[in-house]
Structure 1
Amino acid sequence: MNRLYHVPLSPFCRKVRLVLAEKKIEVDLVEERYWEQDADFLRRNPAGKVPVLKMDGLMMSESTPICEYIEEKHPTPPLLPKSATERFETRRLVSWFDDKFHSEVTSKLLYERVNKKVTGEGYPDSKNVKAGAKAIKYHLDYMAWLLDQRRWLAGNEMTLADFAAAAHLSALDYISDVDWNRSDVVKDWYAKIKSRPAFRSVLADQIPGFLPPPHYADLDF
């Protein structure tokens, strides 16, 4: 049985979960308290990070290489375009969300509001929260600009870029940190992607001590 060691609100874990679900690959989800640096977990990934996917006799870490491995082994339905140009754009946007968006937004909002409490690291830093709340507006505007020109973020077909973005935004939406009224086109994009069957397990997540807003699992907002 495939096994994914994960944390429910981790956008990197969610990205892998979405890809596995879109490919209809069954996986056993195991919540991992990675911050405790358990010896068994460190043997699975010496870097001490999630996600870690056990599949095909391999123990794989780092979300994007995991997703691309799944894509190569299970190419249907495709999440990477055929042309080199479109693949570049997809990978560029995956990097945008997992690097820039994560650094400027996710780490400033989700990690401050939730991770610090869960891991016992203290209280949110208000300066970081304010910086994240400001930065997300820029990113939502950039997404709106992309979606004004394309059906999906990287082009006219849904790709891994959409799942990378949705993984971050869904985690932030769990704590009501996304202003969906800022852009109708972004809201429509998210409604479209979260209505996919692949999103069902993500929308069913429940984090002890943190209740999602009523619209979180509502496919029509």
Structure 2
Amino acid sequence: MCLAEKKLEVELVEERYWEKDADFLRRNPAGKVPVLRIDDMILTESSAICEYLEEIHPTPSLMPRDPQERFEVRRLVSWFDDKFHDEVTSNLLYERVNRKIQKAGYPDSGNVKAGAKAIKYHLDYMAWLLDRRRWLAGNEMTLADFAAAAHLSSLDYISDVDWNRQPGVKDWYAKIKSRPAFRSLLADQVAGFPPPAHYADLDF
């Protein structure tokens, strides 16, 4: 999303990181995606990659200039990539999709229930933020919005987001969803998991 928003061309390569391929582990010993290669330089960790791209391609800006506002963006990126990921994404997406792809057995119903409960809290928190701001971290769209949208898009793909719970969050996601940078993501599909009809519908 960050690359697309900045209109930077990139070749996307599927990486089955769970297979722990030796060549992949040489590129990123942490065994995680994404990994971005620029010439002979290897970049890892999504937030670090996005901030690097922001520094070398500052237009359009996805980070505010004010230090306090920059802190809020970083705080929310961490919120979604750590707390939201651990409490929601790993319990819903990983159980329903990743286990099947990785041939790791059936979903753990306890984890799925925990994720379904936790996402309500996070949607309510997002609504609280959006009641006070135009976007999640302030009055301009930032990397915080992209971090949140990335998680919610993957969960929306498996119909695990109750968009009727918080209309303000639904409106926010519709704005993100309608951006040209988001369209390639909406066109992507996971083999064996067809998305619901509303997934790529810009008006839900």
- Per the normalisation by structure 2, the TM-score is 0.99
Cα distance in structure 2, aligned partners of 1:48 and 1:99? 17
AA of the residue aligned to 2:185: V
Cα distance in structure 2, aligned partners of 1:119 and 1:57? 31
TM-fit CA distance, 1:46:
1.3
- Is 1:81 the counterpart of 2:64? The answer is yes
| Correspondence 1:81-100 to 2 at 5 A | 81-100=64-83
AA of the residue aligned to 1:61: T
Secondary structure at 1:54's aligned position in 2?
Answer: strand
The equivalent of 2:110 in structure 1 is 127
AA of the residue aligned to 1:152: W
- Is 1:179 the counterpart of 2:162? The answer is yes
The equivalent of 1:12 in structure 2 is none
- Is 1:110 the counterpart of 2:93? The answer is yes
Cα distance in structure 1, aligned partners of 2:29 and 2:6? 28
Cα distance in structure 2, aligned partners of 1:96 and 1:48? 21
- Is 1:217 the counterpart of 2:200? The answer is yes
The structure 2 residue matched to 1:140, chosen from 120, 123, 133, is: 123
The equivalent of 2:132 in structure 1 is 149
- Is 1:47 the counterpart of 2:23? The answer is no
Cα distance in structure 2, aligned partners of 1:56 and 1:135? 41
Cα distance in structure 2, aligned partners of 1:85 and 1:56? 34
For residues 82-136 of structure 1, give each alpha carbon's deviation from its aligned partner in whole angstroms, at most 9, with x where no partner exists. Answer: 1001000000000000010001000000000000110111110000000000000
Cα distance in structure 2, aligned partners of 1:35 and 1:99? 19
TM-fit CA distance, 1:65:
0.5
Cα distance in structure 2, aligned partners of 1:72 and 1:105? 31
The equivalent of 2:190 in structure 1 is 207
AA of the residue aligned to 1:142: Y
| Correspondence 1:8-27 to 2 at 5 A | 18-27=1-10
Secondary structure at 2:13's aligned position in 1?
Answer: strand
The equivalent of 2:150 in structure 1 is 167
The equivalent of 1:60 in structure 2 is 43
The equivalent of 2:18 in structure 1 is 35
Name structure 2 gaps, 5 residues minimum. Answer: none
User: How many corresponding residue pairs?
Assistant: 204
AA of the residue aligned to 2:43: M
For residues 37-96 of structure 1, give each alpha carbon's deviation from its aligned partner in whole angstroms, at most 9, with x where no partner exists. Answer: 111111111111111000143111111111100000000000000100100000000000
AA of the residue aligned to 1:22: E
- Per the normalisation by structure 1, the TM-score is 0.91
Cα distance in structure 2, aligned partners of 1:95 and 1:149? 20
Output the aligned Cα RMSD: 0.6
